[in-house]
Amino acid sequence: MLRRLIPLLVLLAAVPALHAQERAPLPHTLAPHEHALIRDYRDSRAGDARGITTPPPGPVRTMAEWEEIQSLVICWAQYEGILKQIVRHAKEECEVIIVCDDDADVTAYLNNAQYGGPLNNLNNVTLLEGAYNSVWARDYFAESIYLNEVDSLLLLDWIYNRPRPLDDAMPDLVGGFKNIPVYSTSQAPNDLVHTGGNFMSDGFGTAFSSELVLEENGPNGQFNQTVRNEGQVDALMNTWMGIQPGRYVKMTPLPYDNINHIDMHMKLLDEEHLLVGEFPLGLSDGPQIETNLDYVTSTFNSVFGTPYEVVRIPMPPSAGGNYPPNASYRTYANNVFVNGTVLVPTYRAEYDTIGLRILRENLPGYNVVGIDCDDQGLNIISASGAIHCITKGIGVSDPLLIRHQRLDDTYDAVNPYPVEAYIRHRTGIASTQLYWTVDTAAGFAALPMADQGGNVWAGAIPAQPAGTRIFYYIEATANSGKMQVRPLVAPEGWWSFRVLDANTAVTPVDAPAFASLYPNPATSIVVVGVESGRSERVELRLLDATGRLVHTVFRGIVPADGRLFVDVSTLPVGVYQLELQGAAGRSTRTLLKQ
């Protein structure tokens, strides 16, 4: 059912010069005229004590994006065709709050024939009339945090790094409507400048940002009231967001990402899997991304104490084959979890098929939906943003938290496979079940998990013969009756591992081999699956029909997911060879360019 709400009071304290810009379409970056507004905005923000400006009353936990949400917030400011498609899919998962000028205009647009036609209904859609400056809700809306991991839901609001006071007040508008307390790092000595597009959390005290967060709170910051060093920034993030000491990962900004937001090239898929965009070797921001990735994987482990698993996904070029700084920052990493749906920016079919396939393979059971962000008239990517940049979730008020490190492949065909999970709810856990199968079409068998103390529950999957693939998920029920599964989309989605045959294992001394090559024939991006030793350095070269080197595609350690990418879109039609070289030898495969 559609809900229309007009707040009787919106608390704003901003100078008139700032209000004059409120209806002009604004880019993701600073508009040229906004530079002159920064000082007045900063000073007005310093005197505007909205929200609760003292720290939360106890330890807090910042929610991860893949956790259950009750609402998705968007602002009806620009790119209405894209917003309509977001609403169409997101409302099937949760409430969609649309902050808008005129609810009648929005309703008419949602029911018109454009961009997929009228919505089937307006259930789960809330129209909240309020003031705003821009569409970039990810950056200016609040983060969801919980007291004592799973107790009271709070919203955490930073100082927005744009002179847009109406946007900066959005957390108070929506928090007041939802009756959720808003905590605000807007006043000294607790002031902090930050943006949602430059922040991601694993839900257990680890966070990632670019070093923009240090620049904006340091001596050269334009929006900060207090000059802070890295240790002081980390201390605020610990007090206000529960980010643990030594667990706030900050990376060197990329040369050609003009907003320096990490959501333009990377994303946490879960507690230990990092989705990272990949440019062709040596191009655009590729070298700095690889340097940053080496730093992250060599310096930090996941919350489980194990290395991060990296999933690579190509960064598509323009129609002319160009990359930043000579093209828009096209990326599939700027996607958003909306409970069981993942909304993904798309650009052109020849690249989208690869990007969507990689996401679906790594997020089984999720409804992965592409939304065109490179369309004539709705070219949001040219404004340095996409789907993630214009959406923000609000966590549920009653979370049932499940953390589990998925099982790896094993050679053990004799002993049961132990499964442990950290599980919490504010009322306590009544029971936990481990579901498993070797055939998802045949259904899952349930096994009880036992309370080990310390919120840890354990069970075991019976041993299986070599060659078996095992699928499983976890279900927990709280004393209140609340039930939750993990993965969130189970049983349609699951974790899986294989029981390998030790007699056919490939040893690290074997030459690297091609596991797969698709599509072949190809017109644009080709995905190369590689089998090699876990830490082996390889070189992938593209040769023409005469054996001459066209270019070196990759040089380094094979990513954990075993995928490399070749862009053949600019090559002449013909027959090529891919040559994979390792310390122990080389392999070749034929590739046909159409």
471-481, pLDDT tens digit by residue?
Answer: 999 999 999 99
pLDDT of residue 584 exceeding 80:
no
Mean pLDDT of 212-220: 98
Mean pLDDT of 296-300: 95
Question: What single DSSP character describes residue 196?
Answer: G
222-241 tens-digit pLDDT:
999 999 999 999 999 999 99
Mean pLDDT of 162-190: 96
pLDDT of residue 544: 87
Give 587's pLDDT tier (boundaries 50, 70, 90): confident
What is the enclosing helix (H) or strand (E) of 380?
A: none
Give 540's pLDDT tier (boundaries 50, 70, 90): very high
Give 11's pLDDT tier (boundaries 50, 70, 90): very low
- Tally of CA atoms within 13 A in the half-sphere of 1 that contains its CB: 2
Residue labelled with tokens 């900063």: 42
Give 4's pLDDT tier (boundaries 50, 70, 90): low
307-363 tens-digit pLDDT:
999 999 999 999 999 999 999 999 999 999 999 999 999 999 999 999 999 999 999
Mean pLDDT of 520-531: 91
Mean pLDDT of 32-46: 90
Expressed in percent and rounded to 5, the helix, strand and coil fractions of the chain are: 20, 35, 45
pLDDT of residue 548: 85
Domains of the chain plus CATH, in order, are 3-395 (3.75.10.10), 401-503 (2.60.40.10), 507-593 (2.60.40.1930)
Mean pLDDT of 356-376: 96
Distance in angstroms (rounded) separating the CA atoms of residues 558 and 304: 22
pLDDT of residue 318: 96
Cis check: omega of the bond before 189, within 30 degrees of 0: yes
Distance in angstroms (rounded) separating the CA atoms of residues 521 and 511: 25
pLDDT of residue 9 exceeding 60:
no
pLDDT of residue 119 exceeding 90:
yes
Give 534's pLDDT tier (boundaries 50, 70, 90): low
Give 21's pLDDT tier (boundaries 50, 70, 90): very low
More confident residue, 594 or 90: 90
Sequence-ordered alpha helix ranges (H) in 434-518 = none
Q: Is 555 exposed, middle or buried (0-12, 13-18, 19+ CB in 10 A)?
A: middle
Give 108's pLDDT tier (boundaries 50, 70, 90): very high
Cis check: omega of the bond before 171, within 30 degrees of 0: no
Mean pLDDT of 79-91: 98
Give 551's pLDDT tier (boundaries 50, 70, 90): confident
Q: Which of 37-46, 76-85, 163-172, 533-542 has the lowest mean pLDDT?
A: 533-542
Rounded to two decimals, the pTM is 0.91
More confident residue, 456 or 24: 456
Average pLDDT in the chain: 93
Give 547's pLDDT tier (boundaries 50, 70, 90): confident
User: In sequence order, what are the residues at sequence separation of 6 or more whose Cβ sits closer than 8 angstroms to the Cβ of residue 159?
Assistant: 45, 168, 185, 186, 191, 192, 193, 194, 223, 224, 225
Give 22's pLDDT tier (boundaries 50, 70, 90): very low
Q: Is 510 exposed, middle or buried (0-12, 13-18, 19+ CB in 10 A)?
A: middle
Strands (E), 396-544: 401-403, 417-424, 429-437, 445-448, 450-453, 456-461, 469-478, 483-486, 495-498, 513-518, 525-531, 537-543
Beta bridge partners of 3: 126
Q: Which of 230-234, 410-414, 522-526, 530-534 has the lowest mean pLDDT?
A: 530-534
Q: Which of 22-36, 158-172, 423-437 has the lowest mean pLDDT?
A: 22-36
pLDDT of residue 582 exceeding 60:
yes
Tokens of 434: 């481990």
Mean pLDDT of 500-513: 67
